[in-house]
Structure 1
């Protein structure tokens, strides 16, 4: 049975992963569509502005907070293995750490860095923008689904 501080960590992990899932889902389902509808130079400028604005205490607290909670939960869960709910918690931690944090580091950040370097008014910039929108949206879907599945795993571990 999950109780005490372990229960609190699990609930906080579920909430943080769920909140991250909502942010990624919103970004994928309408923010990227809105940006894609703009002329490439405007879309690139808006996206670059959002990438700078995203590095703020509120978003970082959710995104990195969920990462930290998942790391701590994974360690505690390994210690308690094979108690009830430990498989669900480990699976949820792995989903978030790989599917959200890992994808951000390996796929999203490099694309954002490359976008910041393109000339928005060039043909190369326009071509990169089209590929960027498609690829970033797909990776945001992965991050959203992984975060939501992680939250679901935490909830299942509590039941």
Structure 2
């Protein structure tokens, strides 16, 4: 178990870093660029992103880090390692601030956007009045929680 714990933590560092980078680039670049487009084009582009992102690499990074977080919490309770508190903190940050926020806020907004024709008045209204504000706000939460997760897992790896 002693050799496995640092390996799991290291793997979680990689996963958290990938997720933090993904959410960061949406917060600081992609959504701003889409917001500069005419609403119909922004909606269509986001609808396309929401389809393309559901690929095996994204799933591995997103759900793999979720699985690692769950495994690490369980293992942390059975180890006396000084890394356990960082592992628990990082795992909880990821599970609540990234996974839960995604499932409760961002995915339902994506689904609502997906159900609309990009050029419809309803899509334009949703995009301009709600989506660009609320989706981005919740993405900032995911970004910060993923960065916090990354920091916790790096510290855990350091002391493991």
User: Please, what TM-score do these two structures have when normalized by structure 2?
Assistant: 0.93
Q: Is the counterpart of residue 79 in structure 1 residue 82 in structure 2?
A: no
Q: How does 1:1-159 map to 2 (within 5 A)?
A: 3-80=2-79, 83-130=81-128, 131-159=130-158
Cα deviation for residue 120 of structure 1 reads 2.3
- Report the secondary structure of 1:84's partner residue: coil
1:154 deviation in Å?
Answer: 1.1
What is the TM-score normalised by the length of structure 1? 0.94
CA distance in 1, matches of 2:114, 2:149: 31
The CA distance in 2 between the partners of 1:116 and 1:30, in whole Å, is 21
Q: Deviations over 1:51-70 (max 9, x none)?
A: 00010011111111111110
Aligned length: 157
Describe the superposition over 1:72-116 as per-residue Cα deviations: whole angstroms up to 9, x where unpaired: 101111222x53121111010000011111111101100000001
Any stretches of 5+ residues in structure 2 without a counterpart?
Answer: none
Q: Secondary structure at the match of 2:78?
A: helix
Q: Which structure 1 residue ranges, 5 or more long, are not aligned? A: none
CA RMSD of aligned residues (A): 1.4
